[in-house]
Amino acid sequence: MARHFSMLREFHLADWFTLANAFCGTGAIFAAMRFLQEGGVRDLMIGMALIPLAFIFDALDGRVARWRKSSSTLGRELDSLADVISFGVAPAALAYACGLQGGWDWVVLSYFVGCGVSRLARYNVTAEALAGDEGKVKYFEGTPIPTSLLLVIVLAIAAVQGDIGADLWLGMFKLGPWQFHPLVLMFALSGSLMISKTLRIPKP
């Protein structure tokens, strides 16, 4: 007979680190929303600080899984879903809160999230093929989605200096019916690198 919360009882220790990753990403999104609502830069900085914390949990879940020898298909899928939140949606939300709110910015940020989702889905379906005879994936095709942490660091520096909103670095242009902030191009570049099939990054 199935028991209440039986799925949670099946989680390995590494899976709880993965959930902590997702928790941090969700908190960052809420912090960005609170900043937009109340204007407190402290909320924005808290949200940005949660992304490096999510990165730490993301690194730990893999180490714990290898230490406990408890990797599973569920864990891999859980990891990807958490990464979409913390390193895809959350950085885009923080960027929007910082001032990347033009119509073209929306398009680019949506492209960035779409690239992250595609990158993780491709990894999940090709991981076994990439693992080879040793059973371990030796390289990533395209940059891993946690590299978006670098984008958040750039935004954090801008926020600390007060260069957000109307004072965002590189300014703003009007292209057709919508506004465009050149700074958003770093998200376009990051997304494009994630979905590259020719770029191979050695996996530690």
Provide, rounded to the nearest whole percent, the portion of the chain with pLDDT above 70.
78
Separation of alpha carbons 120 and 99, rounded Å: 27
Tell me: pLDDT of 154 over 80.
Answer: yes
Under 8 Å between Cβ of 70 and 150: no
Separation of alpha carbons 178 and 156, rounded Å: 25
SS3 track for 70-90? CCCHHHHHHHHHHHHHHHHHH
Q: Give mean pLDDT, residues 134-146.
A: 73
> What does the DSSP 8-state code read for residue 166?
G
Separation of alpha carbons 147 and 20, rounded Å: 18
Neighbours of 147 (CB within 10 A): 16
C-alpha separations of 74 from 81, 137, 148, 155 in Å: 11, 17, 24, 33
Separation of alpha carbons 10 and 203, rounded Å: 28
- Ramachandran category for residue 171: left, alpha or beta (phi over 0 → left; psi -120 to 50 → alpha): left
Separation of alpha carbons 59 and 35, rounded Å: 28
C-alpha separations of 109 from 68, 134, 141, 188 in Å: 37, 37, 21, 7
Domains, the chain, in order of start with CATH, read 12-202 (1.20.120.1760)
Q: Give mean pLDDT, residues 100-115.
A: 97
- Its pTM stands at 0.85
Query: Which of residues 146 and 142 earns the better pLDDT score?
Result: 146
pLDDT score for 34? 97
